[in-house]
Structure 1
Amino acid sequence: MTAGPTPRTNTASSATPTDEVLFERRGHLGVITLNRPRAVNALTAGMAAAMLDQLTAWEDDDGVATVLVHGAGERGLCAGGDIVAIYEDMLAGGEATADFWRTEYQLNALIAGYSKPYVAFMDGLVLGGGVGISAHGSVRVVTERTRTGMPETTIGFVPDVGGTLLLSRSPGESGTHAALTGAHLSGADALFLGLADHFVSSGNLPALAAALETEAAEDAVGRFAEEPPASALAGQRDWIDSCYASDDAEDILRRLRTFDGEAADEAADTIEAKSPTAVKVALASLRRARGLSLEEVLAEEYRVGLRFLAGADFREGIRAQVVDKDRNPQWKPAALHEVSAADVARFFEPLGDRELNLQAKEARNV
């Protein structure tokens, strides 16, 4: 089973020096292949920069009508940013990560405003930064193998790459639940949350990719799209909307604990295991995202991200989950009530001359 077209060499192909991301033309289709299968195609700074450059070039190329992004290997589109590289950079001061995020967020904004159909095969794992290079696209395809989500609170961080905006727009409080718990979600759940548009069986992705070489994206995807299975998350709207209808994380936790249901209690256990600072900042980020543009949200997420780079919990979360793998992070502070409103507000303070300052696409094209 493949997640999309198999990379092949032709006269219209190009690659980064390390071949971590491949680009080629097939008919009128521009194909982007994330090519780090052993790392589930985790995104690096070089990959983000190469994608930004190639997408910019293709947008002005009349020979490219549609763009497709997919991941090499069997495991998924993209497991997110390369957090081991981020951890190592944090130990050295974090400047390379700040530069990476600046490029990555520019890429997210470009994808969101892309003038041509941008088709994302969200097959297998699609987490964190993988959501950023797919869910902002115009044609988002999930499968029965999709496992997606924004699991950043698990590593002492918060949803970024525009994820706070995407989840703030999800039905009811389902996006709040997804953000605070960091739950892995099915393709059907992604459709319900508004992170995807179409369900296609994974075995049909190669044929769909071939059709995109000559057909309009809407026509090709329409022929292969299927009725999705039911979303488990959609079936839990009653307790989710009731429990998460608060702007206070401690109140949300109380509601989850007092709601008569095993799922709500499990959600409370999950949230209590996360970084208290990350949980409170993530909730504030979601609430602040309502009514903002993507560029405004990315600017706020950049402020928040740089503050987490300078703090202790992000580094500790990666250490516990990925480096030492003891799964026993020591959060500081260790409890929600120890994180004050003033503590949260400091994450959103302006950065001065380090601001992201993205402009909306309409302004960029003037």
Structure 2
Amino acid sequence: MADRASETTAEETSRGTAEVLFERRGRLGIATLNRPKAVNALTAGMAAAMLDQLTRWADDDAVATLLVRGAGDRGLCAGGDIVAIYQDMLDGGDASADFWAVEYRLNLLISEYPKPYVAFMDGLVLGGGVGISAHGSVRIVTERTRMGMPETTIGFVPDVGGTLLLSRSPGETGTHAALTGAHLSGADALFLGLADTFVPSARLGELATVLETEPAEAAVARFAGTAPPSVLAAQQEWIDACYASDDAGEIVDRLRTVGGEAVGVADTIETKSPTAVKVALASLRRVRGLTLGEALEQEYRVGLRFLAGPDFREGIRAQVVDKDRTPHWVPASLAEVSNDDVEAYFAPLGDRELKLSKERDNV
């Protein structure tokens, strides 16, 4: 007979795929993203499988706590499978829109999960990886954490609820993270409000074992350590002063005026897609006061517009496909992106709208 502490039910085995594995050990339900060579980049099939299994476990009295983690040693999740999105754009298909509709429902479910949802945010946690972790109730970072929403680098904007999360960060630090796409340490993630607890990476395996039998809050408290100082926290004074504007061009000018390390930040922003930078800034301003469901609806609207535009495709080509790191943005500068251009990204989609808020009202 198998040890009950490591029991995996037949039903749960059948729900898993090669790309995401589900098992129950004691009172712990575990979802393991299983694409280590791709740093567990999230595919449409993985998102659908997670949405289905997490829905099942929410009503399963045998499961007291959920744990999401990544296979391999490189990270939890490097984001969505942008190569698949690139191919879908070339094909003119709807696969990316369908993927996001499922992924965003998963993000919303995680935020409302009725049981402790523990995320091991170890190693790389980018884009879609933030969506499956930072909306959880028990968010753990380590000394190896490198988190970020690097979408402006590929001609896109933060999604998976990232605009809402970053809009709630102290001062304008979330705006800085969104526009630059910078990788953040575990300490920075704690400061921004994207995580709750620091645990040394070497102790995550032991913590996972304890979670099989003990309540999540008490177990995590036993393993919690002290994070190093946040670099971002030390920069907040000049970040707040520079990013207070609602105009991206003015933000860049202020950064150059401040001088010092802020000049390098201005240079970084100017390498990003000008359209993405301006739409990302507008997204963060518009999302304040919205629910997560409403924020995801807005991100879906914006995302579909980026699928139809040139910069998202060009950004993936330059960074991931051809890897020449020389994207040709259209328009090529912040000054060329008009307010009307930005507003068009937020226009209603008609029958294509994602209606998460309405779905919740009807439950």
Distance (Å, rounded) in 2 between the aligned partners of 1:116 and 1:360: 24
Q: CA distance change for structure 1 residues 161 and 242 in 2, over 3 Å: closer, same or farther?
A: same
Amino acid in the other structure paired with 1:201: P
2:352 to 348, 351, 354: 354
Per the alignment, residue 85 of structure 1 pairs with 84
Q: Distance in 1 between matches of 2:361 and 2:138?
A: 24
Give the partner amino acid of 1:348.
Answer: F
1:93 is matched by which residue type in structure 2? G
Q: Write the letter of the residue equivalent to 1:133.
A: I
Q: Equivalents in 1 of 2:63, 2:362: separation in Å?
A: 21
Q: What does residue range 218-233 of structure 1 map to in structure 2 within 5 Å?
A: 218-233=217-232
C-alpha distance in structure 2 between counterparts of 1:296 and 1:305, whole Å:
14
Query: How far 1:67 sits from its partner (Å)?
Result: 0.2
- Give 1:327 shift: 0.2
What is the RMSD computed on CA atoms of the aligned residues? 1.3
Counterpart of 2:352, as a letter, is R
The answer to whether the Cα contact below 8 Å between 1:125 and 1:148 also exists between their aligned partners in 2 is yes
Counterparts of 1:36-115 in structure 2 under 5 Å? 36-115=35-114
Q: Is the 8 A contact 1:86 1:94 kept in 2?
A: no
Q: Are 2:247 and 1:234 equivalent residues in the alignment?
A: no
- Tell me the distance in 2 between the aligned counterparts of 1:17 and 1:66: 18
1:109·1:294 contact (CA, 8 Å) conserved in 2? yes
Tell me, yes or no, if structure 1 residue 145 matches structure 2 residue 144.
Answer: yes
Task: Give the match for residue 274 of structure 1.
Answer: 272
Q: Distance in 1 between matches of 2:204 and 2:359?
A: 31
- The residue that corresponds to 1:3 in the other structure is none
- SS for the counterpart of 1:14 is helix
Instruction: Report SS of the residue matched to 1:114.
Output: coil
Deviation at 1:16, TM superposition (A): 5.5
Tell me the equivalent position of 2:213. Answer: 214
Structure 1 residue aligned with 2:290: 292
State the TM-score, normalized to the length of structure 2: 0.96
The Cα shift of 1:363 comes to 3.1
Deviation string 1:272-329 (CA, Å, 9 cap, x unpaired) is 0000000000000000011110001000000000000000000000000000000000
% same residue: 75
Alpha carbons of structure 1 residues 335 and 282: separation in structure 2 relative to 1, 3 Å: same
Q: Does 1:304 pair with 2:297?
A: no
Spell out the pairing of 1:138-287 with structure 2 (5 A cutoff): 138-261=137-260, 263-287=261-285
2:83 and 2:7 map into 1 onto residues whose CA distance is 31
TM-score where L is the length of structure 1: 0.95
The one-letter code of the counterpart of 2:89 is M
In structure 2, what is the Cα distance between the partners aligned to 1:29 and 1:99?
30
Find the aligned partners of 2:13 and 2:233 in 1 and give their Cα distance: 42
Whether the 8 Å CA contact 1:151–1:159 is kept in 2: the answer is yes
Give the number of equivalent residue pairs: 357
Residue equivalent to 2:324:
326
**Partner in structure 2 of residue 317 of structure 1:** 315
Contact preservation (8 Å) 1:142, 1:199? yes
Shift of 1:10: 3.6
Q: Which amino acid aligns with 2:174?
A: G
| C-alpha distance after superposition, 1:9-49 (max 9, x if no partner) | 84454256741000000011100000000000000000000
CA separation of 1:360 and 1:187: change in aligned 2, threshold 3 A: farther
In the TM superposition, what whole-angstrom CA distance separates every residue of 1:99-129 from its partner, at most 9, and x where no partner exists? 0000000000000011110000000000000
Cα distance in 2 between the residues matched to 1:62 and 1:207: 24
Residue ranges of structure 2 left out of the alignment (5+ in a row): 1-5
Match of 1:28 in 2: 27
Distance 1:354 1:197, change over 3 A: same
Distance in 2 separating the partners of 1:212 and 1:265? 46
Report the counterpart of residue 13 of structure 2 in structure 1.
14
Q: What secondary structure is seen at the aligned counterpart in 2 of 1:74?
A: coil
Q: Is the 8 A contact 1:15 1:22 kept in 2?
A: no
Per-residue CA deviation, residues 208-246 of structure 1 (Å, 9 max, x unaligned), is 001110110000000000111100000001110110011
Amino acid paired to 1:332: V
Residues 71 and 200 of structure 1, relative CA distance in 2, 3 Å threshold = same
Q: 1: CA distance between counterparts of 2:35 and 2:132?
A: 15
Query: Shift in Å at residue 81 of structure 1?
Result: 0.1
Query: 3-state DSSP class of the match of 1:48?
Result: helix
Q: Which runs of 4+ in 1 moved over 6 A?
A: none
Taking structure 1 as reference, are residues 85 and 291 closer, same or farther at Cα in structure 2, changes over 3 Å only?
Answer: same
- Contact 1:15–1:21 (CA under 8 A) maintained in structure 2: no
AA at the equivalent of 1:143: T
The separation in 2 between residues aligned to 1:204 and 1:292, in whole angstroms, is 37
Three-state SS of the structure 2 residue aligned to 1:134 is coil
> Quick check: 1:15–1:23 contact (8 Å CA) kept in 2?
no
